[in-house]
């Protein structure tokens, strides 16, 4: 991935987050007013959920800004990993929200709240429209698939959409059937969805922080392609990790034949890694067959 391509995604991600932040702030204010006017605890709880998303998306935006800081002698890759830390915090927040919703649902089973169903539906419909608009902005203007930090914020919005649909369904059941248990039942379903998303984002973040292999790149295929290069006898110390979600890095030792043009081979290897696997940061050491291996020589077992 070229620097310009990365920069383009980075700018789009910031724009998407900033616009989403503005819309969610408007929605939080609207839901608080709606909760007060209709005496709807469900709307107030959803406003609290949205407020947590406001801070989560704000944190994601701050992460992108911090990530722009230049590399230094003490931080040679700059601050790009801050995006992963922000994604990890978002995942933990999602887990915390799910636990809170579970607790609230148990309380509502014991004492179902009285709400004004009509007003609740009106405000919930407005909330659903705003949430769908925010999700569309992320998908249209941001790199949700490639950037873990933005994906963490996007999962917050998906949780909002499901939560708001739950409020709508609960409002309909309360309005037409006076079935007050609809609210805590739907809250538990929403909590399970939020919990799943939270664990997924948190586990992916920890995987990057633990120097795990990017899921989209096959170590076995990289090893096969490198061994197929001319004059390459074998390889060892092959390591693949992510600096941040869209910045994979690789290092390895290639054992080459005597007399091989190592500069030409290095150009071939780096070009292949960039074209076939979108790895633009690769450190490759060339060595002859007589070089003695160190204790770190054994490569990890390749995985697909």
Burial 132-167 (b: 16+ CB within 10 A, else e): eebbebbeebbbbebbbbbbbbbbbbebbbbbbbbb
Q: Are residues 263 and 191 in the same domain?
A: no
Question: Would 303 be classed as within a structural domain?
Answer: no
Asked if residue 133 and residue 61 are part of one domain, the reply reads: yes
Amino acid 4: pLDDT:
46
**Helix (H) / strand (E) containing 249:** strand 247-256
Residue 182 lies in a domain: yes
The per-residue pLDDT for 48 is 72
Please tell me the predicted confidence (pLDDT) of residue 3.
46
Kindly compute the dihedral angle of the four CA atoms of residues 162, 146, 10, 193, in this order, to the nearest 10 degrees: 20
Bridge partners, residue 255, by sequence: 234, 287
Task: For residues 204 and 239, state if they share a domain.
Answer: no
Q: Pick from 294, 290, 301, 289: which is nearest to 231 by CA?
A: 289
pLDDT score recorded for residue 22: 92
> What number of CA atoms fall less than 13 Å from residue 207's CA on the CB side?
14
Q: CA dist 65 to 18, 58, 59, 181, 297, Å?
A: 11, 11, 10, 44, 39
Q: Are strands 247-256 and 232-244 parallel, antiparallel or unpaired?
A: antiparallel
Residues 135, 27 share a domain: yes
pLDDT of 215 reads 85
Q: How far apart are CA 31 and CA 41, in angstroms?
A: 10
Distance of alpha carbon 186 from alpha carbon 190, whole angstroms:
6
Regions in the chain scoring below 50 on pLDDT: 1-8, 295, 298-299, 302
Q: Are residues 170 and 265 in the same domain?
A: no
- Indicate whether 32 belongs to any domain: yes
What is the pTM for the complete model shown? 0.71
DSSP 239: E
The parent domain of residue 83 ranges over 10-210
Same domain, 142 and 266: no
The domain total for the chain is: 2
SS3 call for 248: strand
245 and 158 fall within a common domain: no
CB-CB contact of 98 with 192 (8 Å): yes
CA distance 5 to 141: 14
Give the CATH number of the domain where residue 81 resides.
1.20.1510.10
- Does residue 201 sit in the same domain as residue 236? no
46 Cβ contact partners less than 8 Å away, ≥ 6 residues apart: 31, 124, 127, 160, 163, 164, 167
Name every residue whose Cβ is closer than 8 Å to that of residue 121 and which is 6 or more positions away in sequence.
168, 171, 172, 175
Does 160 lie in the same domain as 58? yes
pLDDT score at 8:
46
Does any domain span residue 126?
yes
Specify the CATH number for the domain of residue 235.
3.30.70.1350
């Amino acid at each position: 991935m070229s620097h310009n391509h990365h920069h383009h995604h980075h700018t789009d991600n910031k724009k998407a987050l900033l616009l989403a932040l503005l819309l969610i702030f408007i929605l939080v204010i609207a839901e608080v007013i709606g909760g007060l006017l209709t005496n709807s605890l469900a709307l107030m709880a959803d406003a609290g959920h949205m407020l947590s998303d406001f801070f989560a998306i704000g944190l994601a935006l701050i992460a992108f800004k911090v990530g722009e800081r230049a590399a230094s002698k003490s931080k040679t890759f700059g601050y790009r990993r801050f995006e992963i830390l922000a994604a990890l915090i978002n995942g933990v927040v999602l887990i915390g929200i799910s636990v809170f919703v579970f607790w609230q649902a148990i309380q509502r089973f014991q004492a179902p709240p009285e709400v004004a169903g009509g007003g609740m539906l009106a405000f919930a419909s407005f909330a659903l429209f705003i949430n769908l608009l925010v999700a569309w902005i992320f998908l249209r203007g941001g790199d949700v698939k490639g950037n873990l930090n933005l994906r963490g914020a996007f999962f917050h919005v998906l949780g909002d959409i499901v939560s708001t649909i739950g409020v709508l369904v609960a409002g309909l059941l309360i309005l037409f059937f006076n079935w007050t248990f609809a609210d805590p039942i739907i809250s538990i379903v929403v909590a399970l969805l939020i919990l799943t998303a939270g664990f997924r984002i948190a586990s992916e973040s920890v995987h990057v922080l633990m120097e795990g292999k990017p899921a989209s790149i096959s170590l076995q295929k990289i090893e096969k392609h490198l061994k197929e290069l001319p004059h390459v006898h074998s390889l060892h110390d092959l390591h693949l990790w992510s600096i941040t979600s869209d910045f994979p890095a690789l290092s390895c030792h290639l054992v080459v034949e005597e007399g091989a043009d190592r500069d030409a081979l290095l150009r071939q290897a780096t070009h292949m890694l960039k074209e076939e696997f979108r790895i633009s940061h690769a450190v490759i050491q060339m060595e002859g067959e007589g070089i003695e291996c160190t204790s770190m020589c054994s490569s990890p077992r390749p995985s697909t």
